[in-house]
Amino acid sequence: MHELPQTLVNGLTLGALYGLIAIGYTMVYGIVQLINFAHGEIFMIGGFGALTIYLWLPSGTALSLALPLMIIGGIVASVAIATAAERFAYRPLRGGPRLAPLITAIGLSIALQQAVWAFYPDAKKSRSFPQFEGKSLEIFSNLHIQRGDVFLLIAAPLCMLALGLFVSKSRAGRAMQATAQDPDTAKLMGINTDRIIVMAFAIGGAFAAVAAVAHGLKYGQVNFEMGFIAGLKAFTAAVLGGIGNIYGAMLGGVVLGIAEALAIKYIQDIPGMEQLGGGTWKDVWAFTLLIVVLLVRPQGLLGERVADRA
Amino acid sequence: MTALLEVEDLRVAYGKIEAVKGISFTVEEGRVVTLIGTNGAGKTTTLRTLSGLLQPLGGAIRFEGKPLAGVPAHKIVALGLAHSPEGRHIFPRLTIAENLQLGAFLRKDADGIAADTQKAYDLFPILGERRSQAAGTLSGGEQQMLAMGRALMSRPKLLMLDEPSMGLSPIMMQKIMQTIAELKAQGTTILLVEQNAQAALSLADQGHVMEIGKIVLSGTGSELLHDESVRKAYLGED
């Protein structure tokens, strides 16, 4: 049990990352009932946006100074792609069969990956991302936090708090809730629902960009494929927490992250399961958790029953 | 003087099926006009077209003399046309107070909004008592009150009510109809769609009977109430 605190913190940071990306899935789904499978690539492009800014800055710029600009660059790139996807790929299909935007999303996901692969300089292999120098921070003798993760552990709660206040307190946030609950009636109130939908894509994109910067700082690299598995995990987190619920997305992320960290560490200690532990099997345990939760609570941890939506 | 709302040869279709097949009527300021008829007559389709949720196939809609065709739904309420939809459609997970605030979404006059919110609570005291409760927890009749209160929050020049008595207990129905009569006495212009012909015609200055997409009979409320064919078809008399 000596390593339990460390394992939990590892899980928490991973979960915060999943949660930030999951917000994008859950907001878009909550409003237009679309799983935006290109969201993983919107995350990936945020990473490349941040990297581009870093490379533009004079070499030797301290990372702590560059970081705010990198975040802005990542957000601009992700939000631009997310809103363009909404405007040109999804909006023309709105009101059509539900399968059409879903297939479009998968196509867009592949197209964005390949576009980065083909056109970003040297992106055919991983590009290195700046990292904070120095050793990890020692909290206790058995608990260390990587310097890159500190950013994540600050950014994720701040983003969530800001989003929670925005949705519950602001006029636009209330319009967003109204649109999610009943789009036609929202229009009758004078709400421009098209603009609300763009806003949902933009917020999701911005959060994904923050996650991408955190991901870059944590792993020291970005690549054109990084959106696939991260997106899949975040989507799992969104469903686990109850898709459509922003707090559910964060909770689902944290639960998933901690479950993964525990599985990596402890599954191999269970007699007879020595082969099933460690990093190789972590995705299996993540998706197993999803299946188990959905068997017991099909609406997810914080999800509302679908009947309430009618 | 031109009427507040003029509908001329309006046609609306869902795909190839024409639900409204060329109807014309007007609503003058201060009047209560009702559209009655059975399910599928095209009453709700007419209201949804007036508020911009559906696009007409042909014909003209003029509000205060200005054409409404092509104006998106979210801009119509700003012109002074409020729509309380069939089935109430309150926002279930927002509170009653928040629902009312959304009715005033486009207004900027905080004092006026506060005053009108209080007015809604005076009109329906139960809403005031439960203002911080989620709207989905209200009974059907209370939800209807909220839907009407919410529509009034935009200070509309024309209030459109779609089936306000649907699915309500007789007592609740009476209460809602009383409220409509009160609003009428205050001078509110109302376009009322109802299946409950008796109640609607007793209130209305003018009525139109719709059958499969057409207006088949028009008259004052009391004329229609005493019309033999209306009594047979809609008031359940032999």
Q: Which positions in chain B touch A189 (Cβ < 8 Å)?
A: 74, 77, 102-103, 105-106, 150, 154
Q: Mean pLDDT score of chain A, rounded to an integer? A: 93
- Burial state string for A126-141 with b = 16 or more CB within 10 A and e = fewer than 16: ebebbbeeeeeeeeee
Of A189, A192, A193, the CB nearest to B102: A189
Q: Is A133 on the interface with B (CB under 8 A)?
A: no
CATH class for domain B1-80+159-237?
Answer: alpha beta
Q: Mind listing the pLDDT tens digit for each residue in A188-222?
A: 999 999 999 999 999 999 999 999 999 999 999 99
pLDDT at A144 over 70: yes
Contact between residue A241 and residue A26 where contact means Cβ atoms under 8 Å apart: yes
pLDDT of residue A267: 87
Q: Mind listing the pLDDT tens digit for each residue in B81-114?
A: 999 999 999 999 999 999 999 999 999 999 999 9
Q: How confident is the model at residue B120 (pLDDT cuts 50, 70, 90)?
A: very high
Q: Do B91 and A308 touch (CB under 8 A)?
A: no
A11 against A280, higher pLDDT:
A11
* Phi, psi (degrees; rounded to nearest 5) at B197: -65, -40
* Helices A171-181 and A193-219: angle between axes, nearest 10 degrees: 100
pLDDT of residue B92: 95
Cα(B111)–Cα(A15) distance, integer angstroms: 45
DSSP state of A87: I
Q: Which positions in chain A touch B91 (Cβ < 8 Å)?
A: 177-178, 181-182, 185
Q: How confident is the model at residue B50 (pLDDT cuts 50, 70, 90)?
A: very high
Cα(B135)–Cα(B93) distance, integer angstroms: 6
Q: Kindly list the residues of chain B whose beta carbon comes within 8 Å of any beta carbon in chain A.
A: 51-53, 72-75, 77-78, 82-83, 85, 89, 91-94, 98, 101-103, 105-106, 136, 150, 154
Cα(B71)–Cα(A272) distance, integer angstroms: 68
pLDDT at A141 over 90: no
Q: Do B74 and A177 touch (CB under 8 A)?
A: no
Q: Which residues span the domain enclosing A165?
A: 4-308
Q: Do B77 and A182 touch (CB under 8 A)?
A: no
pLDDT at A153 over 50: yes
Q: Do B93 and A178 touch (CB under 8 A)?
A: no
How close, in Å, is residue B230 to chain A by CA atoms? 32
Which residue of A189, A191, A192, A305 to mutate against B (max B Cβ within 10 Å)?
A189
Q: Do B106 and A190 touch (CB under 8 A)?
A: yes
Q: Which positions in chain A touch B138 (Cβ < 8 Å)?
A: none
Give the pLDDT mean for B195-218: 94
pLDDT at B219 over 70: yes
Of B89, B93, B101, the CB nearest to A185: B89
Q: Do A187 and B91 touch (CB under 8 A)?
A: no
Cα(B11)–Cα(B18) distance, integer angstroms: 7
Of A171, A177, A191, the CB nearest to B74: A191
Q: Mind listing the pLDDT tens digit for each residue in B59-70?
A: 999 999 999 988
How large a percentage of chain B has pLDDT more than 90? 89
Cα(A291)–Cα(A297) distance, integer angstroms: 10
Distances in Å between the alpha carbon of B23 and those of B45, B61, B212, B228?
12, 11, 11, 23
pLDDT at A309 over 80: no
- Domain total of chain A: 1
**Domain definitions of chain B by residue range:** 1-80+159-237, 89-155
- Which chain A residue has the Cα nearest residue B151? A189
Cα(A113)–Cα(A224) distance, integer angstroms: 5
Two tokens, residue A130: 């700046």
CATH number of A143's domain: 1.10.3470
- Which chain A residue has the Cα nearest residue B136? A308
pLDDT at A307 over 50: no
- The β-bridge partners of B13 are B18
Q: Mean pLDDT score of chain B, rounded to an integer? A: 94
Give the pLDDT mean for A249-265: 95
Which residue of A185, A195, A299, A308 to mutate against B (max B Cβ within 10 Å)?
A185
Which residue of A188, A192, A197, A309 to mutate against B (max B Cβ within 10 Å)?
A188
Q: Which positions in chain B touch A185 (Cβ < 8 Å)?
A: 85, 89, 91
pLDDT of residue B146: 97
Query: What's the complex ipTM?
Result: 0.94
Give the pLDDT mean for A3-9: 92
Q: Are strands B206-211 and B214-220 parallel, antiparallel or unpaired?
A: antiparallel
- Which chain A residue has the Cα nearest residue B93? A181
Q: Which positions in chain B touch A191 (Cβ < 8 Å)?
A: 74, 102, 105
Q: Do A187 and B102 touch (CB under 8 A)?
A: no
pLDDT of residue A305: 57
Q: Is A302 on the interface with B (CB under 8 A)?
A: no
Q: What angle do CA B172, B174, B180 make, to 5 degrees?
A: 105
Q: Mind listing the pLDDT tens digit for each residue in A287-304?
A: 999 999 999 999 999 987
pLDDT at A142 over 80: yes
Q: What is the CA radius of gyration of chain A?
A: 20
pLDDT at B1 over 60: no
- Burial state string for A157-177 with b = 16 or more CB within 10 A and e = fewer than 16: eebbeebeebbeeeeebbbbb
